Structure 1
């Protein structure tokens, strides 16, 4: 089982470059041609979501949004890093670095793009620029690392796969919640996911050599060389 973010993401450099190109295209369009992006992509989806709101979904997505909030991420991120550090210092450092770097990347992008938030039927308050979605970036930075930490403690592949499915589902639901609540456009959420994937790849590569020189040991004491493959 992997103790690196790399096996969970697309890390072929041509594909990484493609993801970066998509992010750049979204950012440029959101900054220079926001009405075109809203009319052609965002508004139809946002309106469809608003038309299908219900009390049960209101309850679900409000709670999902809280799970992706800074309060939760800043509490669980350091704890998750500590749990990883006890078994593998490199993974712990990776989690702490991603937790610290994510808000810096997010707020830099928000300042550069400076996209206004949706103003139709907003259910909760939203502060600052809209692009990218900070909640989904925070959620992806935290929950994408959970299966990696689990792999340090559990040898069952079924448990690891279940943790991957749970983490992916949480990130998707948290992203959807921000659109549902009317505080982000769908393209904000998409950009947040892509930017976070690029951040995780960058940090993973940063610690790759250190981890290869001192690989983690699995729960059974076997050397895990996932990063060196």
Structure 2
């Protein structure tokens, strides 16, 4: 818990001190809490129903994600060997950080801390950030648990090949797709990145958010395609819930339109993701 406090305090000070004072009609703490709790619940439902309203561009984006995941899937055996062979060359504190921050218990300690700080200080931007963190983590957490069971994909560490699927197998060795650690960690990073306008700061935060997912590949717990798909699902979920929260809270991030574009690019000897924000 002690190692969480520096991250929590940094986030609180960044959001609280880096924004203009918020002047709102007074509400009781209990009223704000019940409102936020209800909003968290409805925002998860909103995120899950978005595919019912997708049009051409959204389906094209989802098709690109599916195609990119499928492309990475072709090389999962090779990429898994590459990452696992290089594991011992990675500093242990980076690997441990990836395991720690992607753990649900630790994740909710951070997100709840952000939310309750905003609640008790009556800082709506910080409250909204906490609501977005908790809602997005809950939505992705439930989604990945359902998908793990349905897919039943074998983990690399099980000794099975990338093509091994056994749906509804209760063994954790068959819960590889998608990666819960990657979803949790990148969801947090993507939400925190929204607090900043500078693209280099965003990129740095996103890079840190990718470490837990990659650490799971190092440890043989997930294939690279599992992690890539999980990151995409984190982005979709956060964007959907953030749009929903625009109708529930007066304060918005940086007063900027939520326009984000993630494109997969493939070239000889090159695989990449281009983000425009």
Asked if Structure 1 and Structure 2 have the same fold, meaning a TM-score greater than 0.5 normalized by the shorter chain, the answer is yes
Q: 2:97 pairs with 63, 87, 99, which one?
A: 63
Greater fraction helix = 1
User: Which structure has the higher relative contact order (CA within 8 Å, separation 6+)?
Assistant: 1
8 Å CA contact 2:132–2:191 kept in 1: the answer is no
SS in 2 for 1:226: coil
CA change 1:204–1:48 in 2 (3 A) is: same
Q: How far did 1:63 drift?
A: 3.0
Q: Which structure 2 segments of 5+ residues have no match?
A: 1-17, 20-53, 160-171, 260-277
Q: How far did 1:115 drift?
A: 1.1
Q: In 1, Cα distance between the equivalents of 2:203 and 2:82?
A: 27
CA RMSD of aligned residues (A): 3.5
Aligned residue pairs total 192
Give deviations 1:42-76, integer Å, cap 9, x for gaps.
00111112232325545532332222221221110
Partner of 2:186: 140
Q: How far did 1:205 drift?
A: 1.8
Partner of 1:179: 217
Partner of 1:199: 237
CA change 1:203–1:51 in 2 (3 A) is: same
Q: How far did 1:132 drift?
A: 0.5
SS in 1 for 2:157: coil
Matches within 5 A, 1:126-165: 129-148=175-194, 150=195, 163-165=201-203
CA change 1:37–1:130 in 2 (3 A) is: same
Q: Which structure 1 segments of 5+ residues have no match?
A: 3-11, 30-35, 152-156, 219-223
8 Å CA contact 2:118–2:124 kept in 1: the answer is yes
CA change 1:82–1:22 in 2 (3 A) is: farther
